Amino acid sequence: MFKPDRNKAKTGEIIEFEQDSILVKGKVLPSNTTNSIVVDISAMKDYDKLNHGYSNMVVSHKNYRVVDVG
């Protein structure tokens, strides 16, 4: 079961989150959002399985965890 943490990610860090029961990893992009972050997921290995259509996603601070500090 995926468990988010309380750390707020900064630009350049790698985060992971769950979408449609798939664990997604991405790099945090610069943004002016307050309650969420913008993440580039295009480098993810199984990017095509998401069938999202866009390489960027907006993720709430409540729904991710930081896995690598850039």
Total domain count for the chain?
1
Residue 53 lies in a domain: yes
Global pTM?
0.87
Residue 21 lies in a domain: yes
pLDDT for position 53: 77
Q: Which domain holds residue 59?
A: 14-68
Selection from 20, 25, 27 nearest residue 50 by Cα: 20
pLDDT for position 21: 85
Residue 1 lies in a domain: no
Mean residue pLDDT of the chain comes to: 89
Mean pLDDT value of segment 1-7? 86
User: For residue 45, which phi and psi values (nearest 5 degrees)?
Assistant: -60, -45
Rounded Cα distance, 53 and 56, in Å: 9
Residue 57 lies in a domain: yes
pLDDT more than 70, % of the chain = 96
